[in-house]
Structure 1
Amino acid sequence: MKCRRRLLVGLLAVLGHGIAVAQTAAPRHDAASALLVVDAQVGVLASVWQAERVTANLQKLVAKARAAGAPVIWVQHADNELKYGSDRWQLAPGFVPAASESVVHKQYNSAFARTDLDARLKSLGVSRIVLAGAATNWCIRATAYAAVDRGYQLTLVGDAHSTEPIPVPGGKDIPAEAIVTDLNTVFEWLSVPDVRTEVRTTADVAF
């Protein structure tokens, strides 16, 4: 995927071996929320699994957040495969940040890595992140873990993130759908101290 990757390891989390623990409490929705749209760029969304559906869901999420008065923060990636300022680097058609909305520029998988995202969220009083975008196994995964490590409540929008199939040794591919399902399963069941995670569909997300 266009988010720069270093290693083809840890693509699918191992389930059923004591790593994930079911949550017993319902996720909170009273926390101040922000929508984080990761890498909704021309050169990213064009090649992901079910791109049209995912793009439409991202647009619905942006509209929902704006209607609720929740902050929308856009993340835009640049690296050797996605040159800063190029056509492929631009946000995909239909995605135009409002004047009041932040745009965070990154060069690593996590949207928190060497950016001021954490400071921006804190300045807005945000304690819950609604996360969507691409690519599932690179920038969405890294950003999700970075968010919970920093103590943010996390809602992963299960039908609003995607990726490409990933080739692995032996001439096989890990299907994109399997990668999406894996991450959704992990964050539905993940156990983190003092943090609740959940997975919701676009239709069910509330701000």
Structure 2
Amino acid sequence: MATIREGNKAALVVVDVQVGVVNEAWDAARIIGNIAHVVERARAENVPVLWVQHTDEELPTDSPQWQWVPELVPAADEPRIHKQFNSSFEQTSLAEELAVREVSHIVLAGAATNWCIRATAYAALERGYDLTLISDGHTTGTIELESGTTIEAAAIVKELNIAMQWLSYPGRTNNTARAEQIDFAQPGGAQ
């Protein structure tokens, strides 16, 4: 059973909006703009912004594709968490950074929807956090299967948004909200 997080402090967690992750992602310019807007709002409301950055064979540390997109620049005092697995919690300092800030409510944005965003969303809920997924603040690429079947990126995004509205965990609130509707003071996050 998860430890339910006490209180109502939010943090914005931005995951993997890196050049090599979003360079071919669906509607990337709009999604990045939406994330940038929420980052500005979080900073204006003194809500912590935590940046999670992936490293692997395709995203070697310090390479051009590993860098954050130019529209999103972490502030000097905002934590940068480095990961090597899909979940932002696995073998990282994310849980410790959230605990220091007494966070109970995670507002989540980034890429890629079907991998790191999904894994981080489920991991947050399983660890007892309230969760708001920014419905127009995450993206991925289209998947082409060996069978010739194509799963369109927009459908992947839509499916995770639906799942986050319908999942049910005891003692936790989860939902989605558009970037313009995010309410950091409200678990479930919509104004």
Structure 1 residue matching 2:132: 3-state secondary structure: strand
Match of 1:109 in 2: 86
> Structure 1 runs of 4+ off > 2 angstroms?
none
Aligned partner of 2:59 in structure 1 is: 82
Q: Deviations over 1:146-193 (max 9, x none)?
A: 000000000000001010011224201100011000000000010111
Q: How far apart are the structure 2 equivalents of 1:52 and 1:58?
A: 10
One-letter code aligned to 1:134: A
Q: Kindly report which structure 2 residues correspond to 1:173-188, keeping only aligned pairs within 5 A, or say none.
A: 173-188=150-165
Tell me how many residue pairs correspond in the alignment. 178
CA deviation profile, 1:44-71 (whole Å, cap 9, x unmatched): 1211100110010010010010010000
1:139 corresponds, among 113, 116, 125, to 116
Q: 1:78 and 1:157 mapped to 2: Cα distance?
A: 23
Native 8 Å contact 1:33 1:129 kept in 2 = yes
Give TM-score, length-normalised by structure 1: 0.84
User: 1:64-103 maps to which residues of 2 (within 5 A)?
Assistant: 64-103=41-80
Distance 1:161 1:99 in 2: 24
Distance 1:205 1:178 in 2: 22
Per-residue CA deviations over 1:66-99 (Å, capped at 9, x if unaligned) read 0100000000000011111100001110221112
Q: For 2:64, what is the secondary structure of its paired residue?
A: coil
What is the alpha-carbon distance in structure 1 between the residues aligned to residue 146 and residue 8 of structure 2?
43
- Report deviation, 1:127: 0.3
C-alpha displacement of 1:100: 1.5
Q: Which residue of 2 aligns with 1:165?
A: 142
Structure 2 length normalisation: TM-score? 0.91
Q: Partner residue of 1:122?
A: 99
The residue that corresponds to 1:190 in the other structure is 167
SS of residue matched to 1:88? helix
Gap regions ≥5 residues in structure 1: 1-29
* Letter of the structure 1 residue corresponding to residue 127 of structure 2: R
Letter paired with 2:71: G
After superposition, the CA RMSD in angstroms is: 0.9
Separation in 2 of the partners of 1:189 and 1:95?
A: 30
* d(CA) in 2 for partners of 1:147, 1:113: 11
Decide which moves more: 40-49 or 139-148: 40-49
Aligned to 2:181: 204
| Structure 2 Cα separation of the partners of residues 55 and 115 of structure 1 | 24
Runs of 5+ consecutive residues of structure 2 not aligned to the other structure: 1-6, 185-191
Counterparts of 1:26-45 in structure 2, within 5 Å, are: 31-45=8-22
